[in-house]
Structure 1
Amino acid sequence: MADNKQSFQAGQAAGRAEEKSNVMLDNVKNAATGAGTAAQQAGQKISEAAVGAVNVVKEKTGMNK
């Protein structure tokens, strides 16, 4: 049977491991949020470029009148 000191040390180790996993999880969440934002911005730019291309085609073919 573990004595009090060993139980205390085991509890400290478990606490440190939990804190490290929480920090890592926060880092992963932040990275995922950043990636999602970047993807959304890229999609917006592609959409804007497509609209611009359609407008150019309309102007060149006379469909814009």
Structure 2
Amino acid sequence: MSSTQFNAGQSHGQTQAKAEEWVDSAKDTAHAAHDKACDAAGKTQEQAHRSKEESAGFLQQTGEQVAHMAQGAIDGVKNTLGMGEKK
């Protein structure tokens, strides 16, 4: 085997090893990105759930306030017309 063939074989082996390192590095990077994306999605889902609960509570309070205001308006009209409890 000539030294040229030996050098070519050695160079090929080094190139292949370097390519494998790059592939492994790319896989590690992809896995890390996937993990971060999953964490972000989980946090987003938790925040959406909290926001939904807060919105439901806000809407319930608003509905109760509107109902009280409407009842007050009805009582006021009844009193004005002399139909209310206060005479």
* Match in the other structure for 1:53: 51
Measure the CA separation in 1 of the matches of 2:28 and 2:14.
21
Q: Identity percentage over the alignment?
A: 25
SS for the counterpart of 1:49 is helix
Query: What is the TM-score with the length of structure 2 in the denominator?
Result: 0.66
Q: CA deviation at 1:38?
A: 0.3
Aligned-residue CA RMSD in angstroms?
1.4
- The residue correspondences of 1:1-65 to structure 2 (distance < 5 A) are 4-62=2-60
How many aligned positions are there?
Answer: 61
Equivalent AA in structure 1 for residue 39 of structure 2: Q
Q: CA deviation at 1:62?
A: 2.0
Measure the CA separation in 2 of the matches of 1:46 and 1:12.
51
Query: What is the TM-score with the length of structure 1 in the denominator?
Result: 0.86
Q: CA deviation at 1:61?
A: 1.7
- Structure 2 unaligned segments of length 5 or more: list them: 62-87
User: Is the radius of gyration larger for structure 1 or structure 2?
Assistant: 2
- Structure 1 unaligned segments of length 5 or more: list them: none
Runs of 4 or more above 6 Å deviation: none
